[in-house]
């Protein structure tokens, strides 16, 4: 009887344990194996929210900063324009003392005028006149020397960075006269031909609306003509003469731009210059030279 009670008690305990195990909840999936659950975004910065504003991200430079000067821009003087200039040139004439016995360094005023037009492409044309007259007291009495040139030029202006280079040529004419007033003798040459020339301008001081630079020019003219001789003994051939003229000049130029677009300018030059005339019909002692300092005012508009 006692054994039956014991077996009955053990059976009841087993039934109660099985029912209690069936009522317990199943463990979560993340708890399997004892590994804690982690978010897939853990370890990354939180995404931007509507409260936080946009952030500026500087652009990545494709190339390194240049270590040299930036490239030159287009020249502000590249424009179509009428060009006018007038030169006042205190000039000293030079004739060998072997010609008239004495020739002083007293000078006179020469004048140069030029007028032309230039297009945006740098092609242009102009006319230029230069004239000089001087009277010298020599051993042969008062001698008047007069000289003049006329050039009709066609040229092309090149812009190389901020520098300018002009090359061209055209028709040329020249006249020269010796007048021996006390002896009532004179000889005059009229000639015509061609000339070639070159000019340059380079600014070494640059400002917002003005530039200061160096300029230079050179010209060579070859002419043929004849003398109108009245009693002078030093002209060897009055019917045919070959004359060459060489001009050289170097100095400073000041430019100031104006106008709505800054495409007009006026300029002022101070330029020492020399000329050398050589005639095939004159003895070398009578070939004249001219030295002066040109003060030139010009306008391009």
Report the distance separating Cα 154 and Cα 284, nearest Å: 32
> What's the CATH architecture for 82-300?
Beta Barrel (2.40)
Dist CA 228 CA 241 (whole Å):
11
* Pairing, β 123-138 against β 289-300: unpaired
The domain locations on the chain are 82-300
Please tell me whether residue 48 adopts helix, strand or coil conformation.
Answer: coil
Where residue 4 falls (left for φ over 0; alpha for ψ -120 to 50; beta otherwise) is: alpha
Distance CA 107, CA 136 (A): 9
Helix (H, G, I), strand (E, B) or coil at 286: helix
pTM value is: 0.74
Q: Which pLDDT tens digit goes with each residue over 1-35?
A: 555 555 555 565 565 555 555 555 555 554 444 55
Residue range 68-90: average pLDDT? Answer: 79
215-269 pLDDT, tens digit each:
999 999 999 999 988 777 778 777 889 999 999 999 999 999 998 877 799 999 9
Q: Considering only the C-alpha atoms of the chain, give the largest distance between any 2 of them, rounded to a whole number of Å.
A: 186
């Amino acid at each position: 009887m006692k054994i039956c009670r014991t077996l009955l008690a053990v059976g009841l305990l087993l039934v109660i344990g099985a029912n209690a195990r069936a009522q317990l909840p199943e463990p979560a999936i993340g708890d399997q194996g004892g590994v804690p659950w982690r978010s897939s975004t853990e370890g990354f910065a939180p995404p931007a929210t509507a409260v936080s504003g946009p952030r500026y991200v500087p652009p990545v430079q494709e190339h390194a900063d240049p270590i040299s000067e930036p490239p030159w821009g287009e020249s502000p003087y590249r424009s179509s324009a009428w060009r006018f200039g007038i030169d006042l040139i205190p000039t000293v004439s030079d004739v060998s003392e072997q010609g008239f016995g004495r020739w002083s360094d007293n000078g006179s005023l020469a004048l140069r005028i030029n007028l032309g037009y230039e297009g945006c492409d740098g092609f242009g044309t102009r006319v230029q006149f230069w004239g000089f007259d001087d009277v010298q007291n020599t051993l042969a009495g008062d001698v008047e020397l007069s000289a003049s040139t006329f050039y009709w030029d066609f040229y092309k202006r090149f812009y190389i960075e901020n520098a300018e280079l002009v090359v061209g040529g055209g028709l040329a004419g020249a006249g020269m006269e010796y007048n021996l007033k006390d002896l009532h003798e004179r000889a005059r040459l009229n000639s015509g031909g061609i000339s070639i020339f070159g000019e340059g301008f380079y600014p070494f001081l640059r400002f917002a609306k003005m530039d200061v630079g160096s300029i230079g020019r050179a010209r060579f003219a070859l002419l043929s003509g004849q003398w109108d001789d009245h009693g002078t003994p030093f002209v060897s051939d009055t019917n045919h003469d070959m004359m060459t003229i060489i001009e050289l000049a170097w100095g400073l130029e000041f430019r100031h731009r104006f106008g709505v677009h800054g495409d007009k300018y006026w300029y002022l030059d101070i330029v020492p210059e020399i000329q050398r005339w050589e005639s095939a019909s004159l003895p070398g002692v009578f070939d004249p030279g001219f030295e002066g300092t040109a003060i030139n005012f010009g306008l391009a508009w």
